[in-house]
Amino acid sequence: MLKDKIIIIAGGLGLLGKNFVKGVIDAKGSVIIADINESTGNDFKKNILTEYPNAILDFHYLDITSESSIQKLIKFTQKKFGKINAFVNTSYPRNQNWGNTFEDVSFKDFCENIDMHLGGYFLCSQQFGIFFRQQGFGNIINISSIYGVIAPKFDVYDGIAINNRTMTMPVEYAPIKSGIIHLTKYLSKYFKNTNVRFNCISPGGILSGQPQEFIKKYNFYGCSKGMLDPQDIVGSLIFLLSDGSKYINGQNLIVDDGWTL
Ligand SMILES: NC(=O)c1ccc[n+]([C@@H]2O[C@H](COP(=O)([O-])OP(=O)(O)OC[C@H]3O[C@@H](n4cnc5c(N)ncnc54)[C@H](O)[C@@H]3O)[C@@H](O)[C@H]2O)c1
């Protein structure tokens, strides 16, 4: 489905990102893994090339909050492949106090997390949007969340702690993720008649070693599975990257096993 497509995956070394990279390679796309975590980037690239010897991929450093870093990534990819078909943003910047309960979130932490995450998604969309408009085509997919769509079901976190820290859904996540969905809609309209489209995917909770008690409470609201595996999001990404979704623009595809219903 993605033959001859050049796809950049920002946050490509993360839980979802690594699975997105593999999914794109499985669909015969070429990938640039872009991530701030330079130390593991080249190792992951080597592992992928062992698993998929014919894959066309590379790693490039990216800080989504830096305009010059985004520009370097665009220039690198453009020079290497002569074009860029799509930019996927699945990065997850957060500061060291991320995860505090509502009463303990300082104004500084609130602003800093919104700056890095929502601000970074804005900056990437702006810089790639401008590049894609000049190029004459492009496709941007931002990863939001179910928590950009509905308020948290706080009961699933009640009384559960990880490493002595009370589990919660951080307050910053609500404006960040709802902001990303609406930013994406704004951009779809702003880039009217440019052959550049913008969409979101909003995944539900992804399994990554959470306490069983939490998983049980969370799964109560699912329709069949509840918490999803990272691979469960890949098919939707491939569809939005493919020409099969050519006229889907400004949408938010919720992939959550019906959790938000
Ligand atoms: N994991 C979930 O349950 C879940 C559910 C719904 C939505 N999401 C969203 O999916 C996306 C990916 O989540 P994840 O669980 O894979 O996160 P993760 O923490 O596993 O991976 C995020 C990646 O982003 C990179 N990153 C952080 N700051 C960066 C920056 N400034 N510039 C470039 N890269 C940076 C990290 O190095 C890491 O590789 C996030 O936007 C998250 O909000 C996750």
pLDDT digits (tens, 9 = 90+) for 19-28: 999 999 999 9
Q: Are 182 and 244 in contact (CB under 8 A)?
A: no
In degrees and rounded to multiples of 5, residue 133 shows phi and psi of -60, -45
- Nearest CA to 259 out of 153, 174, 180 is that of 153
Exposed/middle/buried for residue 57 (C-beta within 10 Å: 0-12, 13-18, 19+) = buried
Class of CATH domain 6-96+111-150+173-205+234-253: alpha beta
Task: Say whether 52 is catalytic.
Answer: no
Please tell me the residue having the least CA distance from ligand 1 atom 32. 63
Contacts of 237 by beta carbon, 8 Å cutoff, 6+ apart? 20, 23, 24, 88, 141, 201
16, 65, 157, 259: residue to mutate for ligand 1 pocket, most atoms within 8 A of CB: 16
Q: Identity (one letter) of the amino acid at 27? A: A
Helix (H) or strand (E) holding 59: strand 57-61
pLDDT of residue 91: 98
CA of 131 to the centre of ligand 1 (A): 24
CA of 103 to the centre of ligand 1 (A): 24
d(CA 76, CA 39): 19
Per-residue pLDDT of the chain in tens (261 residues, 90 and over written 9): 999 999 999 999 999 999 999 999 999 999 999 999 999 999 999 999 999 999 999 999 999 999 999 999 999 999 999 999 999 999 999 999 999 999 999 999 999 999 999 999 999 999 999 999 999 999 999 999 999 999 999 999 999 998 888 999 999 999 999 999 999 999 999 999 999 999 999 999 999 999 999 999 999 999 999 999 999 999 999 999 999 999 999 999 999 999 999
Please tell me the residue having the least CA distance from ligand 1 atom 7. 145
Whether this model's pTM surpasses 0.85: yes
d(CA 76, CA 179): 29
At residue 258's C-alpha, the angle toward residues 254 and 260, to 5°, is: 70
The tokens for 184 are: 């994406």
pLDDT per position as a tens digit, 147-189: 999 999 999 999 999 888 899 999 999 999 999 999 999 999 9
pLDDT of residue 163: 86
